[in-house]
Amino acid sequence: MPRDCDLRLTNLDLIDDDHEQLLHTLQDLAYGDVMARAGMDRLIAQVVEHFDHEMPHLERIGGDLKTRHLGAHALFLDRLTAIRDRCEYEPARARAELAEVTARFISHTNTDDLEIAEALKALAPVEARPAVTLDDILL
Ligand SMILES: [Fe+2]
Ligand SMILES: [Fe+2]
């Protein structure tokens, strides 16, 4: 898996920073030498903090997007919790599942989280948008 795939897609610095750090943590655990419960606990805390960072944006957007997005976050945390609970007695299985979750995480950042950024742009106040002149339309 490419170590440095581009996760700076939302143009929301805190969210993009979180995504980069989370990918490194996920890969360190999935492909590292040690699969320990303490490492999974740290990962889960990091994920919860990241989801908290996305929450104000989701609250602002609301509707179906918020409901779907929170559902995806809940499933993600369920998977990580299950992996944490078996990681010390089934490390090979936990590692394989964490690699799968890592791929799902990248997909989430590239689709669902991008949808947040697009929805926020659509909510931007009309007055903050550049004025369109007749020349813009005719050229
Ligand atoms: Fe995210
Ligand atoms: Fe998200």
Q: What total of structural domains would you count in the chain? A: 1
CA–centroid distance, 113 to ligand 1, in Å, is 5
DSSP characters over 13-76? HHHHHHHHHHHHHHHHHHHSS---HHHHHHHHHHHHHHHHHHHHHHHHH-HHHHHHHHHHHHHH
Report the alpha-carbon distance of residue 109 to residue 12 in Å, rounded. Answer: 12
Question: Is 2 inside any structural domain?
Answer: no
Kindly report the average pLDDT of the chain as a whole number: 91
Non-local CB neighbours of 49 within 8 Å, separated by 6+ positions? 18
Q: Is 3 inside a domain boundary?
A: no
- Taking the centre of ligand 1 as the mean of its atom positions, its distance from the CA of residue 52, in whole angstroms, is 10
Q: Which residues span the domain enclosing 97? A: 13-138
Predicted confidence at residue 128, as pLDDT, reads 61
Residue type, 107: S
Q: What is the CATH number of the domain that holds 59?
A: 1.20.120
> Would residue 24 count as lying in a domain?
yes
Task: Indicate whether 14 pLDDT > 60.
Answer: yes
7 found inside a domain: no
Measured in Å, residue 131 CA sits from the centre of ligand 1 at: 32
Question: Does residue 119 form part of some domain?
Answer: yes
20-55: pLDDT as tens digits? 999 999 999 999 888 899 999 999 999 999 999 999
Inside any domain, residue 8: no
Distance 125 CA to ligand 1 centre (A): 24
Domain-located, residue 1:
no
- Tokens representing 12 are 């929301």
Q: What is the CA radius of gyration of the chain?
A: 18
- Record the pTM: 0.86
Q: What is the mean pLDDT of residues 74-94?
A: 96
Q: Is residue 70 part of a domain?
A: yes
